[in-house]
């Protein structure tokens, strides 16, 4: 009974407010893009420097190996005491997410998804 009521309300909403569904769809798409883009570098770095990873196994206990852009044979191990949370950890991820959202909106606007092609007769 409740599912049929929800389905009827959904159909009513689609008929009355198609633009609302359009906006909701794009909002969910941009939000999921931001989530994937902002968390994937953090996850990759955390997995790379975690203790059970083969990458970090070349360091002594109590040390953390840092990934480098140089040759693969170079190993830089620093004491784990050098690493900790900072106040920037609370500011940088939301700022990065805001930049990604702004870039996504600019991309969508540049593609012209909201523009209607009409022949203007003058």
Q: What is the pLDDT of residues 78-109, one digit of tens each?
A: 888 887 777 787 788 788 888 888 888 888 77
Residue closest to 45 by CA, chosen among 55, 36, 35, 57? 55
Give the span between the Cα atoms of 119 and 97, in whole angstroms. Answer: 38
Confidence grade of residue 114 (pLDDT, cut at 50, 70, 90)? low
Give the span between the Cα atoms of 78 and 66, in whole angstroms. Answer: 8
pTM exceeding the 0.85 threshold for the entire prediction: no
Q: What is the pLDDT of residues 4-51, one digit of tens each?
A: 887 887 777 777 777 777 878 888 888 888 788 878 888 887 777 676
């Amino acid at each position: 009974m409740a599912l049929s009521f929800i389905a009827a309300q959904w159909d009513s909403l689609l008929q009355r407010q198609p633009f609302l569904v359009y906006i909701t769809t794009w909002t969910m798409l941009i939000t999921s893009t931001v989530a994937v883009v902002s968390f994937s570098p953090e996850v990759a770095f955390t997995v790379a420097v975690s203790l059970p990873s083969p990458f970090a196994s070349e360091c002594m206990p109590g040390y953390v190996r840092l990934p480098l852009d140089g040759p693969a044979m170079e190993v830089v191990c620093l004491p784990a005491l050098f690493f900790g949370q900072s106040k920037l950890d609370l500011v940088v991820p939301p700022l990065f997410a805001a930049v990604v959202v702004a870039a996504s909106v600019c991309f969508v606007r540049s593609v012209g998804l909201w523009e209607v092609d009409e022949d203007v007769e003058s």
